[in-house]
Amino acid sequence: MRARKPVAMYDSGLGGLTVLAALRALEPSADVVYLADTAHLPYGDRTLDDIARLAANNISRLLEHDPRLIVVACGSSCSAFDAHGWPSAPVPLVGLVEHSARAAVDASASGNIGVVATQATAKSGVFGRAIRRLRPDARVVEAGAPALVPIVEAGDAREPRAAIAVAQACKPFEAAHCDALVLGCTHFPLLQEWFAQTLGPGVKLVDPAQTCAQEAAKLLLGGASGEARLIVEVTGDAESFARHAAALGAPPITELRQLTPR
Ligand code: DGL
C-alpha cells in the first residue's frame, strides 16, 4: 500500500537538491514536494529577521501539501529559526545544524573545526554553538562565503571560477589548521570536489545534506513503494530552475509549478 503523503522540503534555490539527492538514496520511493524560493535568493545576504519571515512563509505553503514532515534544507533558515525560535507545525521540521555539528565533532581529531556558510549563518554563530555544546574546548572558525551561492545558481559549479572562489573561501580554515570543515550551506556540497582539492585529504568535509537526509529518513521509517513523484514549486523562473536542476543531475520532475512570491 503506497503512502501518498509526501516529504516536503525547501531552499532558496538549488542547494536543497543536495538534500533531495541524499534522501532519494535512502528513501527512493518517497514522494517529494520541493519549494525553491528563488524570487528571494540569496537568503544568506539578508537579515535573520527577513530570512525567518520568508522561511515561515515557505513552511506554511508546504503545509498545504499535508506532508509527513518538512525538511528545512537551508542553513540560513536554520540560523534564523535558531535566533527567532522554530515555528510550531503539526509535522516534524528537520534542520541541518545539530547532526552536522555531531558529525564535525566526530570527524575532528584536533578540535579545530571550520564552518563555511552564508554570511547570515556564519554571523549567527549557530554551528559554533552547536559544536561547542558537544565539545566545549573546540576552536570553531565560522566564515561566510557570499560568492559561492550565486556561482552555483548561475550553473557554474563545475567551472574554473568556482574552484577559484572556493580556494579563496578556504583561507581562514587553512590559517586555523582546521581538520574538519562543515559545509554549512546546502549549496556547498555541489562544490565539494573543489573544497577537497583545495584542502586535501587531511581535512574531513561534513556534508549537511547527508546528515539531514539521514535524520529525515529515520522519521520516515520507509512506508512508501513504487516510483516516487517529485513536485517542484518555484517562486522565480520555474523553467530556468528546472533546467539548472537537471544539469546538476536532479531526478526528473513529475510536475513543475510556478508560484507567486510572497
Ligand atoms: N542553501 C541555503 C543555505 O543553506 C541558502 C543560500 C542562500 O540563498 O544564500 O544557507
pLDDT value at residue 212: 96
pLDDT value at residue 254: 97
pTM for the whole structure: 0.96
Nearest residue to 118 via CA among 98, 78, 146: 146
CA distance 148 to 192: 12
What DSSP character marks residue 200?
A: -
pLDDT value at residue 78: 98
Give the active site residues.
Answer: 74, 185
Give the residue ranges of DSSP H helices in 48-145: 48-63, 75-84, 97-107, 119-124, 126-134
Q: Separation of 139 CA from ligand 1 center, angstroms? A: 24
pLDDT value at residue 225: 75
Cell triple for 246 = 537537471
| Cell 514549486 found at | 233
pLDDT value at residue 58: 98
Ligand 1 atom with the smallest distance to the CA of 185 is 4
pLDDT value at residue 1: 45
What residues are paired with 74 via a beta bridge? none
| Any atom of ligand 1 within 6 Å of the Cβ of 180 | no
The residue contributing the CA closest to ligand 1 atom 2 is: 74
pLDDT value at residue 221: 77
pLDDT value at residue 262: 87
User: Which residues in the chain land under pLDDT 70?
Assistant: 1-3, 223
